[in-house]
Amino acid sequence: MTAIVLHDMGAHRESTRWFHTAGRAAAESGDRDLHAWVLGREAMVPLNFGAAAVAGQITEQARAVAAGRATAATALVTVVAARAHAARGDRAAALSAIDEAEGLLSRLPSDQAADTWFGYPEQKHHVHLSQALTLLGETRRAYASQDRALQLSRRPSVMTRSLIALDRAACLAHNGERGEAARIAGRAYDELPAAHRQGLTRTRARSVYAAVSGVPDAQRLREVLEAAA
């Protein structure tokens, strides 16, 4: 849990150290599901901070540990692998992993699909799927996952809603609607509490800004990014 909080704060080196400790403890315990889950969560650190190749290596290790069982951990590492492949530009591998994750979700028993720290509920699936499909430029499918994730998200889920909005902005920019993309991204980032404007959300917002930085509507996004620096 400490590693995850540090990751969300943008302290990726500290987060990685905590994940390594958790991974060793999980491996020593003999709990393959816990070990795979820790590795899947660890892979999100390099994935979210620009090291997709490293994330891919970790997810492959995690998938080997998970051994294809229909568990929440297997579904998680599979969809994170899809994101890593998408970030590296390996379209075929990403789409294959997405299909596999969809199949796993449909086979999960109710306790594995529960909305808990170690579960893999449909809402969590669509949040990850949104990012993978956005990176692939599969905007129609990405929009559908974004809509479904929002339907399933609890109102207090500020981070989730902001990340989905930033994915939507990236899709709009990909489709040439750069003004609307800038407005959505600027509003989503501006509405975040100050403590949430670092780490993952800042990385995503900067990525959107890079795609829209010539349009007048990008001014507000630039201002809030500068204010959070």
Give dist(CA 77, CA 80) in Å, integer.
5
Residue 67 falls in which region: left (phi positive, over 0), alpha (psi -120 to 50) or beta:
left
Q: What is the pLDDT of residues 91-145, one digit of tens each?
A: 999 999 999 999 999 999 999 999 998 999 999 999 999 999 999 999 999 999 9
Q: Say whether both 88 and 172 belong to one domain.
A: no
Poorest-confidence range of 17-26, 69-78, 150-159, 193-202? 150-159
Q: Say whether both 58 and 35 belong to one domain.
A: yes
CB-based contact 226:209 (threshold 8 Å):
no
Q: What is the pLDDT of residues 200-228, one digit of tens each?
A: 889 899 999 999 998 998 998 999 899 87
pLDDT of residue 158: 84
Asked if pLDDT for residue 83 goes beyond 60, the answer is: yes
Highest mean predicted confidence (pLDDT) among 10-24, 47-61, 86-100, 194-208: 86-100
Give dist(CA 84, CA 42) in Å, integer.
12
DSSP for 198-218, written as a single string: STHHHHHHHHHHHHHTTSTTH
Helix (H, G, I), strand (E, B) or coil at 135: helix
pLDDT of residue 195: 81
Q: Give the chain's mean pLDDT.
A: 93
Domain span including residue 206: 122-130+140-229
Confidence label for 30 from pLDDT (cuts 50, 70 and 90): very high
pLDDT of residue 157: 78
Minimal CA–CA distance to 36: which of 74, 6, 90?
A: 74
Give dist(CA 166, CA 23) in Å, integer.
31
pLDDT of residue 153: 83
Residue 135 counted as domain residue = no
Q: Say whether both 109 and 126 belong to one domain.
A: no
Q: Say whether both 107 and 126 belong to one domain.
A: no
Confidence label for 10 from pLDDT (cuts 50, 70 and 90): confident
**Between residues 221 and 9, the one the model is more confident about:** 221
Q: Say whether both 99 and 162 belong to one domain.
A: no
pLDDT of residue 155: 65
Q: What total of structural domains would you count in the chain?
A: 2
Q: Say whether both 148 and 110 belong to one domain.
A: no
Retrieve residue 176's tokens: 């040439």
Euclidean distance between the first and the last CA atom of the chain, given in angstroms as a whole number:
26
Q: What is the pLDDT of residues 156-167, one digit of tens each?
A: 578 889 999 999
Query: Amino acid identity of 52?
Result: A
Residue 90 falls in which region: left (phi positive, over 0), alpha (psi -120 to 50) or beta:
beta
Whole-model pTM: value is 0.92
Q: Say whether both 155 and 223 belong to one domain.
A: yes
Q: Say whether both 10 and 99 belong to one domain.
A: yes
